[in-house]
Amino acid sequence: MPENDTLDKIDLDIKNCTLCLLCSTRKHTVPGEGGFLKKLMIIGEAPGYHEDQSGRPFIGAAGKILRNTLSKNDIKINDVFITNIIKCRPPNNRPPFINEKKICIQYLERQILLLQPKIICLLGNVVSSYLLGIKSITNERGRILHKNELKYFVTYHPAATIYNRNLLNIFEQDIKKLAEYLL
């Protein structure tokens, strides 16, 4: 991490980043946003269309589910930091390539080092498998996991719950547990 790193410096480095081809198709970089009162960091996969248009994470349909579920559990959106492993939208919302993840992870690592979260919530398989090596989140979700002196909590990606009531119920239960942990 650069000396005296700040969120503004990280945002600027992301904004100027040309380390992978996503820089040529993005409209905006999406570094992440929020506050840190709850010491909770939430990490998704990559920006989608709406995020790319606005430069803000989780503002489309999946974001609505995430934001509603947090709010039902008295977690103010401005008190948590929300970001993604990839800071630019992959064209047509394809899953990020491995080289894109390898290159982009440096920004997430700086964000984590700087913010020192009490817990990091990972949304969905892509993120959980990349950061924790989890093959399927079904067995690992809904509890605290430890790696490299950091605490993680894995749950489904809210996009997976859009047409699946059952997954939505589980997602809501998981976020409730996470909220209780943060009390």
Chain centre distance of CA 81: 8
Toward ligand URA, which CB reaches closer, 34 or 63? 63
Toward ligand URA, which CB reaches closer, 63 or 117? 63
State in angstroms the smallest separation of the CB of 130 from ligand URA.
12
- Alpha-carbon distance values, 64 to 61, 129, 158 (Å): 5, 24, 9
Q: Which residues bind to ligand URA, rule: CB under 6 A?
A: 44-48, 51, 57-58, 60, 62-63, 84, 159
Contacts 24+ apart (CB under 8 A), 136-141: 141/170, 141/174
State in angstroms the smallest separation of the CB of 18 from ligand URA.
21
**Nearest Cα residue to 90 out of 60, 50, 47:** 47
CA distance 37 to 174: 20
Q: Which residues contact 55 (CB under 8 A, 6 or more apart)?
A: 28, 29, 30
CA distance 25 to 179: 37
Toward ligand URA, which CB reaches closer, 159 or 182? 159
State in angstroms the smallest separation of the CB of 167 from ligand URA.
15
State in angstroms the smallest separation of the CB of 89 from ligand URA.
9
Cβ-proximal residue to ligand URA, closest one: 44
Toward ligand URA, which CB reaches closer, 1 or 162? 162
CB atoms within 10 A of CB 163: 8
Toward ligand URA, which CB reaches closer, 6 or 93? 93
State in angstroms the smallest separation of the CB of 149 from ligand URA.
25
